[in-house]
Structure 1
Amino acid sequence: MNPQRKIRVLLADDHAILRKGIGMVINAQPDMELAAEAASGDEVVREALRVRPDIVIMDVSMPGCNGIEAARRILTELPSTRILGLSMYKDSVYVRELLRAGASGYLVKDCDDAELLLAIRAVARGEAYLSPAVTSAVLTDYRRSVANPVDLLTAREREVLVMIAEGKTNKEIATALNLSIYTVESYRGSLMEKLNLHNTGDIVRFALRNGLIT
């Protein structure tokens, strides 16, 4: 990247207050600028194609198209754009899914401003960046000789599984995730097939055994 040109960042998260805070940090840097914001997966794809940013910082879990699918779509159209995931999740499944989608880095939302800026600059240089908060989980996952069945699920399937196990109906899940009931039913069928589960009771027991609910 030309050292004289500012790093143009597109920020996507469904929480306006978080976007405002991160945006202020970015715009306060002499080598960065906030090019655009988005509040959903579908919107971040549209904005990426419109402003063609150097880096997209986005939440993994957003309404509609989630961050993982959005990353795939963006990188298909803009392969030189760098994706930096930002999430409250610290477990390996979300990190792995996002990296598989082509992301260059992953941050947790409780990181401080210094780490955020370090990650942006590293990714802008073409390097990868993993938050220290998730590095241990990623290494543990890598070292496993036996696959964890939870790892068979995509991030969205895992979200749906947890919500089913918590007793939510398909309609409630659809509303919470901004999806159609048909899409929720599709995720439900897919995760049950992958895990060889046959009913809601099986889903609850699986979630309890694997620490997804308490």
Structure 2
Amino acid sequence: MTRILIADDHDVVRDGLRALIETRGDWTVVAEARNGQEALELATATQPDVVILDYAMPIMNGVEVARQLRARRLRAEVLIFTMHDDDALIRDALQAGVRGCLLKADARSHLFEAIETLARHKPYISGKVSGALLDAALDGRSRAASPLTPRERTIVQLIGEGRTNKEIGPILRISIKTVETHRASALRKLGARNTADLIRYAIRNRMIEV
């Protein structure tokens, strides 16, 4: 029996994925999460075989959740589920230890293949993500690459969601001083002057939903 966790902040998406998955008698959905923090906690508690993570979730995006799952040495394979096939996202996901990426537009026709492949501990990349894009993600040659590190991107996302440094620290399990260091680095790299500039960056780069 393949045990699956679904994490997406939209009820209709989770319901649709569950409906598809439950047509398979040898698969079961062990938990559903509405945000990244909940996904991390539930994955730790239920120990699924495959975790389906929406990229653009509140609190922690799918890539940060995947990074923390790896840090906790959970055996689950991660499938990033996203609307966007941009190279920066894929590169960050691969660097975080993600072995699967599926576009939401491909879900109906490719979800089963993706889960089956990951359950065998083999990598799966959605058919619409081109080989050239994957190559760029793997070797860092992407022209559209973000100047931020994955951790800086996560902190910018949380700032965009209105989180304070004091709130971000416990979420990412880092000190407030470390949050401040990453925030200052993000400001410098982006040429931003203040929090408002970081929020605008997060919106432009689809890191938060408005």
TM-score bracket, shorter-length normalisation: 0.7 to 0.9
In 2, the alpha carbon distance for the partners of 1:89 and 1:9 equals: 23
Identify the residue that residue 37 of structure 2 maps to in structure 1.
42
Superposed displacement of residue 77, structure 1: 2.4
2:84 is aligned with 1:89: yes
Identify the residue that residue 138 of structure 1 maps to in structure 2.
134
Q: Is the 8 A contact 2:64 2:151 kept in 1?
A: no
| Gap runs ≥5 in structure 1 | 1-5, 163-169
Identify the residue that residue 164 of structure 2 maps to in structure 1.
180
Q: TM-score scaled by structure 2?
A: 0.74
**SS of structure 2 residue aligned to 1:72:** helix
2:97 is aligned with 1:110: no
What RMSD in Å do the two structures reach over aligned CA positions? 3.2
Structure having the higher Rg: 1
2:6 is aligned with 1:11: yes
Q: Deviations over 1:85-142 (max 9, x none)?
A: 1111210111111111111101111113230110000000111001122234223455
Q: Judging changes above 3 Å, is the alpha-carbon distance between structure 1 residues 141 and 64 closer, same or farther for their aligned structure 2 residues? A: closer
In 2, the alpha carbon distance for the partners of 1:140 and 1:69 equals: 21
Report 1:27-106 matches (<5 A): 27-106=22-101
Q: Which stretch of the first structure deviates more once superposed, 117-126 or 61-70?
A: 61-70
Identify the residue that residue 191 of structure 1 maps to in structure 2.
186
Superposed displacement of residue 48, structure 1: 0.8
Percentage of pairs with the same residue: 30
Count of residues in Structure 1 that have an aligned counterpart in Structure 2: 188
Q: Which stretch of the first structure deviates more once superposed, 61-70 or 6-15?
A: 61-70
In 1, the alpha carbon distance for the partners of 2:113 and 2:80 equals: 14
Q: TM-score scaled by structure 1?
A: 0.73
In 2, the alpha carbon distance for the partners of 1:149 and 1:114 equals: 29
Superposed displacement of residue 181, structure 1: 6.6
**SS of structure 1 residue aligned to 2:52:** strand
In 1, the alpha carbon distance for the partners of 2:186 and 2:109 equals: 38
